[in-house]
Amino acid sequence: MTEIRPNLPVDEQLSILKRGVVDLVSEEDLRQKLSRSLETGQPLRVKLGADPTRPDLHLGHAVILRKMRQFQDLGHKVIMLIGDFTATIGDPTGKSKTRPPLTIEEARANAQSYLEQCRLILRSEPEVLEIRSNGEWLEQLGYKDIIGLTAKYTVARILERDDFSKRLSAGTPISMHELLYPLTQGYDSVALEADVELGGTDQLFNNLVGRALQRDYGQEPQVVMTLPLLVGLDGTEKMSKSLDNYIGISDEPHAIFAGLMKVPDPLLANYFTLLTDLPQERIDELVAGHPVEAHRVLAREVLVWLAPGADPDAAEERFRSVAKGGIPDDLPEVVVDAAELNDEGRVSMARLVVLAGLEPSNGAARKLIQNRGLKVSGEAYTDAQGWVEREQLCMEGGLILQKGKDKFKRLKME
What are the residues binding a second copy (CB under 8 A)?
85, 88-89, 91-93, 138-139, 141-144, 146-156, 158-159, 164, 168, 171, 173-180, 183-184
Nearer to a second copy, 215 or 346 (CB): 215
φ/ψ of 50, rounded to 5, equals: -150, 135
Cβ proximity to a second copy: between 150 and 273 the closer is: 150
Judged by beta carbon, residue 151 or residue 288, the one nearer a second copy is 151
The minimum distance between CB 226 and a second copy, in angstroms, equals 24
Q: Give the shortest CB-55-to-a second copy separation in angstroms.
A: 23
The residue (of 181 and 305) whose beta carbon lies closer to a second copy is 181
Output the smallest distance, CB 292 to a second copy, in A: 52
- DSSP-based three-state secondary structure for 206: helix
Q: What's the min distance (Å) between Cβ of 163 and a second copy?
A: 12
**18 known member of a binding site:** no
What sign does the dihedral 405-307-111-94 (CA atoms) show?
negative
Query: Which residue, 264, 247, 265, is CA-closest to 256?
Result: 247
Shortest distance (Å) from residue 107 CB to a second copy = 13
CA distance linking residue 135 with residue 360, whole number of Å: 36
Q: Which is nearer to a second copy, 214 or 402 (CB)?
A: 214
Euclidean distance between CA atoms 108 and 129, whole angstroms: 18
Nearer to a second copy, 71 or 205 (CB): 205
Asked whether the beta carbons of 121 and 62 are under 8 A apart, the reply is yes
Contact 298, 275 (CB under 8 A): yes
CB of 144 to a second copy, least distance (A): 6
Q: Mark 33-56 as b/e (b = at least 16 C-beta within 10 Å).
A: bbeebbeeeebbbbbbbbbbbbee
Residues 6+ apart with CB under 8 A from 150: 180, 183
Count of Cβ atoms closer than 10 Å to residue 188 Cβ: 25
3-state SS class at 209: helix
Contact 253, 307 (CB under 8 A): yes
Annotated binding site for ATP: 241
Which amino acids are annotated as binding site, given as ranges? 241
